[in-house]
Amino acid sequence: MKPLKTVTTLVFFSLLVALPIFLSSYYVGLMILMLIFGIFAMSLNILVGYCGLPSLGHAACFGVAAYTSGFLALKGVHNFWLEAAAGVILSLVVAAIFGFLVLRTRGVYFLMITLALSQVLWGIAFKWTSVTHGDDGLSAILRPDLVFIPLDLFNTTAYYYFALFFFIIATVAMLLVAQSPFGLTLKGIRDSETRMRTLGYNAWIYQYVAFILAGFFASIAGILSVYYHGYVGPSDLHIVTSAKVLLMVILGGAGTLIGPIVGAFGIVLLENFISGYTERWLLLLGLIYVLAIIFAPQGIYPPIKRKVYKWLTL
């Protein structure tokens, strides 16, 4: 299994590096979206997969970072690192406050409360028109100026490699977290909180740190998104975005490293494919969600993985 894993990983990443050279800029744009949602889904996987905490408000950190960076960019800061740092910091503050409120609850309550809190932010984005421009959102945000690095992000392919850089960092970080004592402790708390408490672990602190860590990676995805689209609107904070990323994690397979990536890539492709062919894409998407959850309740990645390995190691 082990060498096989290394080979698949290498093939996967070389494809990610090489593909844009052969694709038109439309498909490169699509791949950028896949990377952004890949990071977003991996960040939520820290909560859903490793902590067993199903957040339905993960768009909060994504959207807050996107709004902050976009707002500063429009105000003429012209320094990507300053804009991004402000976005990350503000969304960490949000995660730190929300973490206090939501981690007192578990299961369905956790789901509901994360949903309600993130909808508050959506409400603010919708109503605070002097800052957020309400329903119109912030638009005409230019690609960032990287200051020290001579990379012209107005070129879509360049932006792709910029996003890929963060995607690889996030993937490696997830791998390290999952194997670290910290990640193992999280899984222990997920499986039996009482037992871990008896062993002397402060469950709350571990989950609080995980909540903030998840917020951190979501904010990176949010920042990549706002500069790619040149736009951020209330829909980036909406329950539909939160639910979409949760579906990516669950459909891909929560608690695995690859699952959320598979889920994110699959759903971005699917959405794009269906909406190109029919106006009724929302209906089809809903049907696909329903069917996928009925027939692959543990996600699509684990069964695919089993089949592929069986076939390869025949």
Residues 49-68 that bind another protein (CB under 8 A): 54, 56
Q: Which has the closest alpha carbon to 236: 76, 111, 118, 82?
A: 118
Q: Decide whether 151 or 293 has the Cβ nearer to another protein.
A: 293
**Full DSSP string of 187-236:** HHHHH-HHHHHHTT--HHHHHHHHHHHHHHHHHHHHHHHHHHHT-B-GGG
Taking the C-alpha atoms of residue 118 and residue 104, their distance in angstroms, rounded to an integer, is 17
Encoded amino acid at 79, one letter: N
Taking the C-alpha atoms of residue 132 and residue 252, their distance in angstroms, rounded to an integer, is 34
Rg (Cα) of the chain, in Å, rounded?
19
Q: Decide if residue 96 touches another protein (CB under 8 A).
A: no
How many C-beta atoms surround the C-beta of residue 109 within 10 A?
A: 11
Q: Decide whether 13 or 204 has the Cβ nearer to another protein.
A: 204
SS (H, E, C) 73-94: HHCCCCCHHHHHHHHHHHHHHH
- The CB-of-48 to another protein minimum distance in angstroms stands at 8
Q: Decide if residue 289 touches another protein (CB under 8 A).
A: yes
Among 10, 11, 151, 282, binds another protein (CB under 8 A): 282
Q: Which has the closest alpha carbon to 248: 55, 11, 102, 80?
A: 55
Among 8, 9, 105, 272, binds another protein (CB under 8 A): 105
Residue 83 buriedness (CB in 10 A; 0-12 / 13-18 / 19+)? buried
- The CB-of-224 to another protein minimum distance in angstroms stands at 25
Specify whether the CB–CB gap between 79 and 252 falls below 8 A.
Answer: no
Q: In this chain, which stretch among 11-19, 158-166, 293-301, 305-313 interacts with another protein, using CB under 8 A?
A: 293-301
Q: Decide whether 56 or 153 has the Cβ nearer to another protein.
A: 56
Size of the site for another protein (CB under 8 A): 41
Specify whether the CB–CB gap between 54 and 65 falls below 8 A.
Answer: no
- The CB-of-266 to another protein minimum distance in angstroms stands at 15
Among 7, 19, 25, 109, binds another protein (CB under 8 A): 109
Among 280, 306, 307, 312, binds another protein (CB under 8 A): 280
Produce one character per residue of 125-151: b if its CB has 16 or more CB atoms within 10 Å, e if not.
bbeeeeebbeeebbeebebbeeeeeee
Q: Decide whether 24 or 278 has the Cβ nearer to another protein.
A: 278
- The CB-of-282 to another protein minimum distance in angstroms stands at 4
The 3-state DSSP class for residue 138 equals: strand
Q: In this chain, which stretch among 84-92, 101-109, 255-263, 269-277 interacts with another protein, using CB under 8 A?
A: 101-109
Residues 198-257 that bind another protein (CB under 8 A): 238-240, 243, 246-247, 250
Q: Decide if residue 86 touches another protein (CB under 8 A).
A: no
> Pattern of binders to another protein over 116-155, x per CB under 8 A?
xx-xx--xx--xx---------------------------
State the residues that interact with another protein by CB under 8 A.
54, 56, 100-101, 104-109, 111-113, 115-117, 119-120, 123-124, 127-128, 238-240, 243, 246-247, 250, 280, 282-283, 285-290, 293-294, 297
